[in-house]
Amino acid sequence: MSLLKIEIYTKRERNQAISDLVDAVNSSDGWVSGHQLFSNVAASIAFEIPYEGLTSFLSKLEGCDFTPHIAEVPLPKGKEIKGTIAITFIHEEPDMKRDVPAFG
């Protein structure tokens, strides 16, 4: 499997933006394998997608007014791709406190 890293910065409302990202993954024959919310400023979504669904997935992101910044990684044809989307929300809202468990 290959690893695809995507970064997105957006001024869109976060719940709708996350929903659109999940829909883009699911409608491209992929699935969300995990997620993490970091206050109301950032989120991380882990997903897997077949190589054949990659073009559709990236088109759907752009269709939702996201501009994905993609890390340069080799993606061999015919393989499943594991990926992460790091999304940063740009807004003037006050910080929403969330408990983040310690690790390590």
pLDDT digits over 92-102, tens only? Answer: 777 776 667 78
Contact 40, 96 (CB under 8 A): yes
pLDDT in tens, 64-77: 889 899 986 777 78
Distance of CA 26 to the CA centre of its chain: 12
Candidates 62, 53, 52; CA nearest to 20 is 62
The confidence score (pLDDT) of residue 88 equals: 93
Cα distance between residue 93 and residue 90, in whole Å: 9
Q: What is the DSSP letter of 71?
A: -
- Pull the structure tokens for residue 1: 């499997």
Class for the domain spanning 2-89: alpha beta
Closest CA to 81 of 37, 47, 45: 47
